[in-house]
Amino acid sequence: MTFRKMKQNTTIMQRLMSTMGIRLNWKTIWTALEECESIGWIDFFISSEEEVLRFNFLDVDIAFEFYQQYAKHHGSSARRSRSEKRGKVKIQQEFVCHRQGYRSPKFYSMPNQQKKPRAETRCGCPARMLLRMDDESGRWHVAYFSDAHNHHVLEL
């Protein structure tokens, strides 16, 4: 199912429930995401940082899809960053803004450089989401979330 189709289904469901006198409160219903299809029910335009901290995910891929959609709805893009393992099991994963970090200084002064270097796109943006796995449940919880960008984002 495409994201557009999920969004249409969400709107249809909300209209149907409102005619029946039922108000859909996604804050309490959708804090535990089991699959990527559940992400289509979330209205990312009213999501605040405090609300994002309530989410937990079945696995890291679902969490990354969530963060990508959140970033897309807020005029940015996302990528995976650092992760931490205990043995062979991943216990922490960080997702960041696509402009986080800086280019390595060695790429500015390469002696045998034949092409002009590409334009700098990184600016050290602090926007990120940090996930930690709960040992007991095996679910991924949002441990830290910041939506503060230090660059212009697309106007939607």
| Total domain count, the chain | 1
Q: Each residue of 21-55: pLDDT tens digit?
A: 444 444 444 466 666 666 766 767 766 788 888 88
Exposed/middle/buried for residue 136 (C-beta within 10 Å: 0-12, 13-18, 19+):
exposed
Nearest 5°: CA angle at 122, between 120 and 123? 110
* Residue 13 within a domain: no
Q: Closest by alpha carbon to 139, among 80, 67, 56?
A: 56
* Residue 131 within a domain: yes
pLDDT of 17 higher than 50:
no
| pLDDT, position 22 | 42
* Residue 91 within a domain: yes
Query: Burial letters for 97-120: b for 16+ Cβ neighbours within 10 Å, e otherwise?
Result: bebbeeeeeeeeeeeeeeeeeeee
Q: Each residue of 62-111: pLDDT tens digit?
A: 999 989 988 888 889 999 999 999 999 999 999 999 999 888 877 777 77
Domain encompassing residue 150: 49-110+118-156
- pTM as predicted: 0.70
Q: Each residue of 120-147: pLDDT tens digit?
A: 888 889 999 999 999 999 999 999 999 8
* Residue 93 within a domain: yes
* Residue 126 within a domain: yes
Looking at the DSSP assignment, which residues form a beta bridge with residue 141? Answer: 56, 132
